[in-house]
Structure 1
Amino acid sequence: MDEGERYQEHEPPPSLRPFVRTIWTYAAPAPEPTVQRIAPDGCPELILDIASPYEEQGDDGVFRLQPQALFAGQMTRPLALRPVGPVELVAVRFEPDGARDWLGHAAAEATDRRLDMTARMAGVTATAGDPAGQVAVMVDLLEDHRRRNTWSLDPVVRAEIEAAEADQPSPARSAAEQRALQRRFSDRVGVPPRMLRSILRFRRVFDHAQGPEALGWLEAGLEAGYFDQPQLARDFRRFLGCTATEWARDQIGLARRIASQSYKPGPLSPH
């Protein structure tokens, strides 16, 4: 990491574990003022900025400041961010289907959107330089909401997600059952089952391409389930907007910290 840069992941308490994969903190006192490309990862997130928020590039190419607190729904295309000052934040990485009850409406309504949570999280403050305290603030926020709103999971959706994460085939379904699953995914996850599988396969490329036994991009793609280099290249364009070589050359800071983390689930959550 660069001097002063910090990324840490924290295990959620057992009561939140069925819904939350991890709570992570990040700080970069002097980030490089360059564009950082964030790929879809299959997990929605709730983010609270403690220092300067990032700027996000819109469809018109213009960079605009993100809100101090936001909910990032499922992504199906790349996200371009750039820092404008010192960065420090705490974020909740939900399970793919874990944020529905926090959100309060169909997850599909947040897909490829960053929803402003500033008013909803008014009064929620976290102290700079205190990762443990920042995590505690988010845990308290979620625990209070969970108790008051009785969070739940759809066992059919969760089973399909677990099969996708294990790279196992879906059970045979009739056309009517498949349409019903699509509707349930729209509500609980925000993307169709097939799209989630594509995102998870792309994520597995980074698991194989980084670490002590890192493979080259093509070998990592083959291990992740791609048939050949053109298929992998298409997904780099689709999910990151660049080639693998361009991404590896240019990405620093938060983008690289996130990509270096494994998105494989921990112990199976209760249904």
Structure 2
Amino acid sequence: MGEGERYAEFPPPPSLAPWVKVVWTYANPEPSDTVQRIAPDGCPELILDIGAPYEEEGSGGLWTLQPPALFAGQMTRPIAIRPVGPVELVAVRFHPDGARDWLGAPLSTATDGRLDMVARLKGVAPPAGDPEAQAKAMTDRLEALRLAQGWTVDAVVRAEVEAMMDDRPAPDRAPADQRAIQRRFLDRVGVSPRMLRSVMRFRRVFDHALEPGEESSGWLEAGLGAGYFDQPQMARDFRRFLGCTATEWAREQVELARAIASQTYKPGPPRLA
């Protein structure tokens, strides 16, 4: 962390734990203008900017300002962002299948998208400089919605997600049953079971957090531990999910990208209350 930069995580209240994995906050009063790569991590997020929102690179290299409140659905490819001013934000990281009832629509409608949530979060005003109060402001709003909307968990999808988190193989299913679970995943998770399993394998590489400049043999060991057969297979997923090589990522990661990478990829299977 640089001087004045901070990252903090807070567990959700028990009543929200079946849906919310963690609430996190980040602040950097003097961020660099470095472009930061954010990879898929299998978890949709609700993000509220207290400081200046980030810019995101779109098609054709066009940079546009993100809305100050947004919902980031499942990602199947990396995004590139850069700060434009002092950064301070609070975010809710849902379990892979935890955001369906909050969103009120199939999660597939948000896949690879950042949806404007300014109206949905109207009235939520977390105080600057107080991470714990910021986290509480978000969980208070979610708890009120949970009670009003009667959130549920799809036990079949949850069991499949837990198996992925634990790196257990998928059960054998008849073709009709497999199509049914795929439909349920698109609704509750936003991507297919196969895609989510690929993202989970990729993020397990980061359980062996490597420091910038570490030799490629260290990455190979981490990849083998995550379930890759060899380095070329892992390298393809780095290109697919981060748009760069492992060595480039280790050298270039800064600020928010570095902070969330050190935490986001730590698995913690969701459990029913």
TM-score range, shorter chain: over 0.9
Say which SS state the counterpart of residue 90 (structure 1) adopts. Answer: strand
Residue 253 of structure 1 corresponds to 255
Q: Which runs of 5+ in 2 are unaligned?
A: none
Q: Report which stretch shifted further, 4-13 or 119-128.
A: 119-128
Contact 1:209–1:217 under 8 Å retained in 2 = no
The alignment-based identity, stated in percent, is: 69
- Counterpart amino acid of 2:44? P
Shift of 1:23: 0.1
Contact 1:210–1:260 under 8 Å retained in 2 = no
Shift of 1:180: 0.0
Residue 180 of structure 2 corresponds to 180
- Counterpart amino acid of 2:177? E
Residue 23 of structure 2 corresponds to 23
Shift of 1:268: 4.7
Shift of 1:183: 0.1
Contact 1:53–1:66 under 8 Å retained in 2 = yes
Residue 96 of structure 2 corresponds to 96
CA-based RMSD: 1.4
Shift of 1:262: 4.8
Q: Is 1:35 the counterpart of 2:40 in the alignment?
A: no
Shift of 1:245: 1.0
For 2:63 and 2:207, the matched residues in 1 are separated by: 30
The correspondence for 2:226, drawn from 221, 224, 233, is 224
Q: Calculate the TM-score normalised by the size of structure 1.
A: 0.96
**Distance verdict in 2 for CA 1:34–1:88, change over 3 Å:** same
Contact 2:47–2:91 under 8 Å retained in 1 = yes
Structure 2 matches for 1:204-219, cutoff 5 A?
A: 204-210=204-210, 216-219=218-221
Contact 2:39–2:242 under 8 Å retained in 1 = yes
**Distance verdict in 2 for CA 1:115–1:234, change over 3 Å:** same
Shift of 1:264: 4.1
Shift of 1:124: 1.4
Residue 202 of structure 1 corresponds to 202
* CA displacement 1:49-68 (0-9 Å, x = unmatched): 00000000112211110000
**Distance verdict in 2 for CA 1:265–1:18, change over 3 Å:** farther
Say which SS state the counterpart of residue 153 (structure 1) adopts. Answer: coil
For 1:266 and 1:238, the matched residues in 2 are separated by: 24
Say which SS state the counterpart of residue 60 (structure 1) adopts. Answer: helix
* CA displacement 1:175-217 (0-9 Å, x = unmatched): 0000000000000000000000100110000111348xx9811
Q: Report which stretch shifted further, 256-265 or 164-173.
A: 256-265
Contact 1:70–1:116 under 8 Å retained in 2 = yes
* CA displacement 1:56-87 (0-9 Å, x = unmatched): 01122111100000000000000100000100
Shift of 1:250: 1.0
Say which SS state the counterpart of residue 14 (structure 2) adopts. Answer: coil
Q: Following TM superposition, where does structure 1 have runs of at least 4 consecutive aligned residues deviating by more than 3 angstroms? A: 262-268
Q: How many residues align?
A: 269
Q: Calculate the TM-score normalised by the size of structure 2.
A: 0.96
Shift of 1:11: 0.5
Shift of 1:269: 1.4
Q: Is 1:61 the counterpart of 2:90 in the alignment?
A: no
Say which SS state the counterpart of residue 187 (structure 1) adopts. Answer: helix
